[in-house]
């Protein structure tokens, strides 16, 4: 699977995937045992449209003798709309991401041991590169001038401090230059500390949140979509929205039917 390049040094890559849209339907039908019948309306695939399977089975259990099915997209939409979320836990994916530390902190704040819909927390598994064991890569995020100029508006989190001057392109470029210098000097101190014998776990303490790190993140489909309901929102920070949009593309490719109903409209349980 090819990587999706993001920001200036970041990426998102699919590592593993399990389950399918069909698996969601099969899980929802555990009580009836009907399994997956077909996405679109039409003749029942079990009885061929006759309404019965054999003399010993006069009424087809799949279509209940009707000879036709409503199509499992109808069931998938019903599950989503009415908050029957458990079947969506029967599928999921694992991704690898390289992103600035502040993006990971926004991402990882949704981890919890038990799903709490009231607090919008979702269950994930993370494994991030540990700077206690290996030096961090010398990669740092430098926002573009366009990104710096686009901040603000109605989003309070993206606003400036009270009394701040209106940002100009010249000041934005100056900030970028100073930021590169800051990253350079931080790296010089980091490498010097490592060479002088400072333990790796302490040599990193001054590194900025713009430093890139890597992690793998794993969750079931229910939790990924809950996460995206927050991180695709227009009020979310631009940088994490970039990763959320890339993640949405991966989900759309692996679970196209579920993604279709997701984009049609969010349910109350998200």
Residue tagged 């499992």 (tokens): 72
**pLDDT of res. 155:** 58
Smallest Cα–Cα separation from 61: which of 50, 74, 72, 52? Answer: 52
How far is residue 106's CA from residue 117's CA, in Å, rounded to a whole number? Answer: 18
Q: Domain ranges in the chain?
A: 4-41+66-134+211-264, 145-203
- pLDDT, greater one: 154 or 86: 86
pLDDT, average across residues 138-155: 86
Architecture of the domain spanning 4-41+66-134+211-264: 2-Layer Sandwich (3.30)
Share of the chain above pLDDT 90, in %: 70
pLDDT, average across residues 236-244: 95
How far is residue 129's CA from residue 179's CA, in Å, rounded to a whole number? Answer: 24
> What is the pTM assigned to this prediction?
0.89
Confidence band (pLDDT; 50, 70, 90) for 191?
A: very high
**pLDDT of res. 37:** 93
**pLDDT of res. 239:** 97
pLDDT, average across residues 198-219: 96
pLDDT higher than threshold 70 for residue 156: no
**pLDDT of res. 123:** 76
pLDDT in tens, 71-90: 999 999 999 988 899 999 99
Residue tagged 């994916």 (tokens): 93
pLDDT higher than threshold 90 for residue 199: yes
Ramachandran class of 7: left when φ > 0, alpha when ψ lies in -120 to 50, beta otherwise: left
pLDDT, average across residues 170-192: 98
pLDDT higher than threshold 70 for residue 67: yes
Q: What is the dihedral of CA 103, 105, 108, 110, to 10 degrees?
A: -100
Please check whether residue 37 is in contact with residue 27, taking contact to mean a CB–CB distance below 8 angstroms: no
How far is residue 238's CA from residue 170's CA, in Å, rounded to a whole number? Answer: 22
Q: At 76, list the tokens.
A: 């998938």
Helix segments in 29-153, DSSP class H: 72-81, 101-108, 145-150
Among 28-32, 120-124, 241-245, 252-256, which stretch is predicted with the lowest mean pLDDT?
A: 120-124
pLDDT, average across residues 32-58: 87
- pLDDT, greater one: 130 or 112: 130
**pLDDT of res. 161:** 84
How far is residue 211's CA from residue 34's CA, in Å, rounded to a whole number? Answer: 51
């Amino acid at each position: 699977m090819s990587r999706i390049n993001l920001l200036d040094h970041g990426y998102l890559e699919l590592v593993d995937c399990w389950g399918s849209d069909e698996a969601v339907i099969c899980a929802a039908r555990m009580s009836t045992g009907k399994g997956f019948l077909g996405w679109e309306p039409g003749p029942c695939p079990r009885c061929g449209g006759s309404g019965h399977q054999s003399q010993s089975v006069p009424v087809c259990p799949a279509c209940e003798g009707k000879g036709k099915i409503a199509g499992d997209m109808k069931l998938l939409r019903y599950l989503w709309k009415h908050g029957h979320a458990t079947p969506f836990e029967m599928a999921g994916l694992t991704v690898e991401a390289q992103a600035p530390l502040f993006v990971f902190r926004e991402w990882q704040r949704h981890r919890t041991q038990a799903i709490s819909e009231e607090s919008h927390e979702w269950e994930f598994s993370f494994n991030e590169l540990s700077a206690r064991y290996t030096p961090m890569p010398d990669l740092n995020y430098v926002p573009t001038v366009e990104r710096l100029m686009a901040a603000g508006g109605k989003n309070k989190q993206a606003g400036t401090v009270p009394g701040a001057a209106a940002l100009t392109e010249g000041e934005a470029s100056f900030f970028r230059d100073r930021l590169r210098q800051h990253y350079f000097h931080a790296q010089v101190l980091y490498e010097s500390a490592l060479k002088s014998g400072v333990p790796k776990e302490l040599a990193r303490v001054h590194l900025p949140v713009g430093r890139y790190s890597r992690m793998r993140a794993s969750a079931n489909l229910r939790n990924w979509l809950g996460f995206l309901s927050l991180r695709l929102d227009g009020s979310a920070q631009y940088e994490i929205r970039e990763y959320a949009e890339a993640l949405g593309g991966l989900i759309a490719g692996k679970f196209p039917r579920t993604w279709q109903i997701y984009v049609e409209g969010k349910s109350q349980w998200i």
